[in-house]
Amino acid sequence: MTPLQQTWPADFAARYRAAGYWRGETFPGFLRQRAAGRPEATAIIGGDQRWSYAELLARAEAAGAGYLALGLRPGDRVVVQLGNIPEFFSAVFGLFLAGMVPVYALPAHRLTEIAHFVAKAEAAGYIAAARGTDGFDYRPLARDLRAASPGLRHVILVGEAEEFTPFASLGGDPASLPPEPDPASVAFLQISGGTTGLSKLIPRTHDDYIYSFRASNAICGVGPESVFLVALPAAHNFPMSSPGHMGALYAGARVVLSPTPNPEAAFPLIAREGVTITGLVPPLALLWAQAAERTPHDLTSLDVLLVGGAKLTPEAARRIRPALGCQLQQVFGMAEGLVNYTRLDDPDAVILDTQGRPISPDDEVLIVDDAGEPVPEGEPGYLLTRGPYTIRGYHNDDAANARAFTADGFYRTGDVVRRTPGGNLVVQGRAGDHINRAGEKISAEEIEDHLLAHPHVFDAAVVSVPDEFLGERSCAFIIPRGERPRAAALKGWMRGRGIADFKVPDQIVLVEAFETTAAGKISRRELRARLRARLLAGETAE
Is residue 310 part of the contact set for ligand OOB (CB under 6 A)? yes
Shortest CB 68 distance to ligand OOB, Å? 32
Based on the shown chain and the rule CB under 6 A, indicate whether residue 337 belongs to the binding site for ligand OOB.
no
How far apart are the C-alpha atoms of 163 and 184, rounded to whole Å?
38
- Minimum Å gap between C-beta 468 and ligand OOB is 17
- In SS3 terms, 159-179 reads as CCCCCCEEHHHCCCCHHHCCC
| Contact between 43 and 254 (Cβ < 8 Å) | yes
Which uninterrupted H or E stretch holds 91? helix 86-97
Other beta carbons within 10 Å of 252: 20
Residue 355 near ligand OOB by CB under 6 A: yes
How far apart are the C-alpha atoms of 453 and 448, rounded to whole Å? 9
Question: Would you count residue 387 as binding ligand OOB (CB under 6 A)?
Answer: no
- Min dist. Cβ of residue 437 to ligand OOB (A): 11
Least Cα distance to 10 among 411, 409, 413 occurs for 409
In the complex, the smallest distance separating the C-beta of residue 484 from ligand OOB, rounded to whole angstroms, is 35
- Report whether 241 contacts 204 (CB < 8 A): no
Residue 21 to residues 18, 387, 389: CA-CA distances in angstroms? 8, 11, 9
Please, what is the minimum distance in Å from the beta carbon of residue 381 to ligand OOB? 15
Our CB check for ligand OOB shows the closer of 233 and 498 to be 233
Among 337, 344, 272, 258, residue whose Cα is nearest residue 301:
272
- For ligand OOB, the closer of residues 51 and 88 by Cβ is 88
Nearest-approach distance from CB 55 to ligand OOB, in angstroms: 29
Among 56, 106, 130, 427, binds ligand OOB (CB under 6 A): 427
Q: How many helices (H) and strands (E) does the chain have?
A: 17, 25
238: contact with ligand OOB by CB under 6 A: yes
One of 6, 90, 327, 330 touching ligand OOB (CB under 6 A): 330
Does residue 234 bind ligand OOB (CB under 6 A)? no
DSSP letter string over 315-355?
Answer: HHHHHHHHHHTSEEEEEEEETTEEEEE--TTS-HHHHHH--
Chain centroid, CA 223 distance in Å: 23
Which H helix or E strand runs over 290?
helix 282-292
Number of residues that bind ligand OOB (CB under 6 A): 23
Please report, as a single letter, which amino acid is at residue 157. L
Nearest to ligand OOB of 289, 335 (CB atom): 335
Positions in 393-422 near ligand OOB (CB under 6 A): 413, 415
- Residue 331 as a binder of ligand OOB (CB under 6 A): the answer is yes
Q: Alpha-carbon distance 448 to 442, whole Å?
A: 11
Residue nearest to ligand OOB (CB): 333
Does position 309 interact with ligand OOB (CB under 6 A)? The reply is yes
- Residue from 125, 333, 337, 387 touching ligand OOB (CB under 6 A): that is 333
For the segment 121-180, give every residue that binds ligand OOB (CB under 6 A). Answer: none
Nearer to ligand OOB, 79 or 317 (CB): 317
Report 433-462 residues binding ligand OOB (CB under 6 A).
Answer: 436, 439, 441
Cα gap 413→204, rounded to integer Å: 17
For every residue of 359-405, DSSP letters joined together read S-TT-EEEEE-TTSPBPPTTS-EEEEEE-TTS-S--TT-HHHHHHHB
Interface stretch with ligand OOB, choices 19-27, 112-120, 171-179, 235-243 (CB under 6 A)? 235-243
Indicate the residue among 128 and 331 with the shorter CB distance to ligand OOB.
331
* Closest separation in Å from C-beta 462 to ligand OOB: 17
The size of the chain, in residues, is 542
The reply to whether 215 sits near ligand OOB by the rule CB under 6 A is: no
Instruction: Give the nearest distance from C-beta 405 to ligand OOB in angstroms.
Output: 15
- Cα dist. 294→198, 266, 267, 324 in Å? 42, 14, 11, 11
243 binds ligand OOB (CB under 6 A): no
Shortest distance in whole angstroms from residue 108 CB to ligand OOB: 13
237 binds ligand OOB (CB under 6 A): yes
Q: Distance between CA 354 and CA 332 in Å, rounded?
A: 9
Q: Which stretch binds ligand OOB (CB under 6 A): 111-119, 332-340, 451-459, 516-524?
A: 332-340
Residue 30 is a binding residue for ligand OOB (CB under 6 A): no
Q: What radius of gyration do the chain's Cα atoms show?
A: 23
37 CB-near residues (< 8 Å, 6+ apart)? 53, 252
| 351 part of the interface to ligand OOB, by CB under 6 A | no
Distance of closest approach, residue 333 Cβ to ligand OOB, in angstroms = 3
Question: Which one of 212, 216, 217, 242 is in contact with ligand OOB (CB under 6 A)?
Answer: 242
Whole-number Å distance between alpha carbons of 535 and 538: 5
Does position 311 bind ligand OOB by CB under 6 A?
yes
- The binding track of 173-212 with respect to ligand OOB, each residue x by CB under 6 A or -, is --------------------x-------------------
Give CA–CA dist 494/485, Å, rounded: 12
Judged by CB under 6 A, does residue 308 bind ligand OOB?
A: yes
Q: Given the rule CB under 6 A, which residues bind ligand OOB?
A: 193, 237-238, 242, 308-311, 330-335, 339, 355, 413, 415, 427, 430, 436, 439, 441
